[in-house]
Amino acid sequence: MDLQLSGKRVIVTGASKGIGLAIVRAFLVEGAEVAICARNADDLAAAAADLSSSGTVHHHIADMGVKGEPAEFVEWAAGQMGGLDIVVSNVSAMAGPDWEMSCAVDLIGMDALVRASLERMDDHAGCNVICIGSRAASVAAPRIAAYAGVKAATISAMKTLSREVARRGIRANVVSPGDIIFEGGVWDKAQEENGKLWQAIVKENPFRRLGTPEEVADVVAFIASPRSSFVTGANILVDGGATSGLQI
């Protein structure tokens, strides 16, 4: 299926590894131009070099938890690409129980990024906003209450935003991954140890496996594309059915 993303100008934050990196690759394969950021200069440069063979990538160091940097990154990225069509807010503090850090990055930084992006988006041009949420927002999440809480707030914020920008023809959605395994990630380390935590998390999933970044990225690309032109204000779980509660 042609997702009609060729020529689209895309921002992806936290794009140096894992889900963010896979999202960038999915957009590049579809012919989009992408601007990426991360905090670690070496990781970001390595990711940009790896991605450059797949398409046009611009990279810039930015910290979504530092006041002013989200808007500065958007301005820089839009300048590099000559405009902006899609923004994917992927950065998370992953701060577990730390409310201050979680709010600074996952909510305040995300909102600053999104608001700056909306100023660069044209009306009725197929533009849209996607935030990467988490299955943790939909279940009880012991020991990571702050992380789960800000992800739940992200869903609420995007639902509200979807109504605010609908008259401009702009969409806003959340894609919420479940347990995803990638090199260097939490579950990769747990798999190496093959302890009770790993065994329990695999057993919890109906498919008896964890997801991959590519499985999340494909959903993000589809939701960002004109093929999903009537989808807005949604929270799409990509968790292999691990969340048993009913979403109404």
Catalytically active residues, by annotation: 147
Cα–Cα distance, 104 to 30 (Å, whole number)? 33
Question: Which residues make Cβ contacts (< 8 Å) with residue 125, sequence separation at least 6?
Answer: 85, 169
As a whole number of Å, the CA-based R_g of the chain is 17
Residue 240, classified by CB atoms within 10 Å of its CB into exposed (0-12), middle (13-18) or buried (19+), is: buried
CA angle (19, 201, 24) in 5-degree steps = 5
Q: Evaluate whether 217 touches 176 at the Cβ level (below 8 Å).
A: no
Name which of 45, 37, 10 is nearest 26 in CA terms.
Answer: 10
| Gap between the Cα atoms of 47 and 27, Å rounded | 14
- CA 243/CA 213 separation, integer angstroms: 18
- Do the Cβ atoms of 169 and 124 come closer than 8 Å? yes
